[in-house]
Amino acid sequence: MKLHYFILLYLAISISSRSHFAQSENDGFSIELIHRDSPKSPYYNPALNQRQLMNNVFQRSINRANYLMPKSQLSTSLIPDINGVFLTNISIGTKPCAKLVVVDTGSDLIWIQCQPCIHCYQQKNPIFNPKNSSTYKSIPCNSTLCKNLRGSSCDRKKKTCLYFAGYIDNSFSFGDLASETFTFDDSTNITRPDRLSFPNITFGCGRRNHLNVGDVEPTGIIGLGASPYSLVSQIKSTFGHKFSYCLVPFYQLNVSSKLNFGEKAVPSSSKFVVSTPLFLKPPKVFYFLKLLEISIGNKTIQFHNTSKNVHEGNIAVDSGTTISFLPTQIFSEMKTIMKSEIKLNPLTRNDTQFFQLCYQDLRISDVPSVIFQFQDAKVKLNAINSFVHIGDGIVCLAFAPTKHLPIFGNIAQTNFFVAYDLDEMIVSFKPTNCDKL
């Protein structure tokens, strides 16, 4: 009854002997995703017990949810929080070496730390030096890429574009907007992975950088948002404007999850697949769905849409938030119904700290069915999507109240093949044993 949660997005990529440009491929590729709390992660802390780990996860989810407030969308910040759940190692330039980066569906711009660094935080890998790469190119001030990027400015002396990525948690990156070759290992063939190189990827070459992410010090960030500067948008001419992921449960974190692009981002069959419209709101960084109601057992909670425009999404779908967040009143109704449906006595809050509804030795058969009715799509959650094990036989409801933006988090998405099609503007869900992919 445990569960993969936290989606800082971690990806690990190994060095391969075969290398070619991605333009020669047309069926897509897959990348290994490693959760930050996995034993495979460089930030794995074996000293933490399950309770400590879950408390940390919940606190990070709260921080993330607070940063995803609607008011943040009025800021010039590119993303309100950089504290994600998954990372990846990517290779950059003509003398590539692995760089550990956050991968996040709630970000748009790609940036990494660069030499010469005026102010950089410490990282485990060598900082990228553009002088060692023949494919590095600065982007001029008068280019469309520069003019359309929020927060851009111009180095008048060099006539090259500058970028600024600001975050509500006071993290930031500032430096040169440039293009470079990015290389990934395709994990589709485990025994002999292909290396896929993408030339002319626009990214921020950070000369001044600061992160407030605690123990995680990645090289930078890979955005999977819908803006033209995200990775998925920059490779769409080759693989189409689509991506997907399949996240393993938390108790299987020694098994890798997958991030897919191109045709590999499409569910293998249409059986059991449900699709719902995808909505974007300025600054087109976060993805939104329209939630109509939540069914728990035989009871239904109407999801009140506070938006004046009924055609807009009312809940963000975010791989970087572990716990799901619902409006306070709706969460209160959910908790009341859960308590009436589960024939066990809940634990007191003193025993569970952050979580608001917990049980000792809860069985899968004790958990009522939970269905999220999105527009045109009924997504039925399993017990591992609704409850999470926090240690000592205690299982807690994996939802929390919020006065800000509702979020469909990654625990709710565990063991679903979640596919984003940004041409058709839909997201699809297919129940899947993600550890078998």
Answer yes or no: is pLDDT of 16 > 70. no
The domain boundary, picked from 261, 294, 311, lies at 261
Strand partners, 175: 163, 206
Total-model pTM: 0.87
Domain count, the chain: 2
Task: Return the pLDDT at 220.
Answer: 87
CA dist., res. 165 & res. 152, Å (int): 9
- What average pLDDT score do residues 186-211 get? 83
Mean local confidence (pLDDT), 386-403: 92
Q: Does 352 have pLDDT greater than 80?
A: no
Please report the DSSP string for 198-259 in residue order: EEEEEEEEEEEEE---TT---SEEEE-SSSTTSHHHHTHHHH-SEEEEEPPPGGGTTS-EEE
**Closest C-alpha to 15, from 190, 135, 195:** 195
> Quick check: 83 pLDDT over 50?
yes
Identify the bridge partners of residue 179 per DSSP, sorted by sequence position: 137, 202
> CA torsion sign, 230 to 233 to 237 to 239?
positive
Q: Let me know whether 186 and 271 are in one domain.
A: no
CATH code where residue 112 lies:
2.40.70.10
> Higher-confidence residue: 258 or 40?
258
Q: Is residue 194 part of a domain?
A: yes
Query: Are residues 271 and 257 part of one domain?
Result: no
Residue 190 has pLDDT above 60, yes or no: no
Q: Under 8 Å CB-to-CB from 421, ≥6 apart: which residues?
A: 241, 242, 278, 427, 428
- Based on the domain organization, do 278 and 407 belong to the same domain? yes
Kindly state the average pLDDT of the residues 302-326.
78
The yes-or-no verdict on residue 1 having pLDDT over 50 is: no
Q: Vertex 79, ends 77 and 84: CA angle to 5°?
A: 150
Q: Which domain holds residue 130?
A: 29-66+76-261
Residues 217, 120 share a domain: yes
Residues marked as catalytic: 104, 318
DSSP 390: E
Which tens digit of pLDDT belongs to each residue from 355-366? 899 999 999 999
- 245-249, 296-300, 303-307, 345-349: which range is least confident on average? 303-307
Query: What single letter denotes the amino acid at residue 216?
Result: V
Per-residue pLDDT at 247: 93
Is residue 153 predicted with pLDDT exceeding 90?
Answer: yes
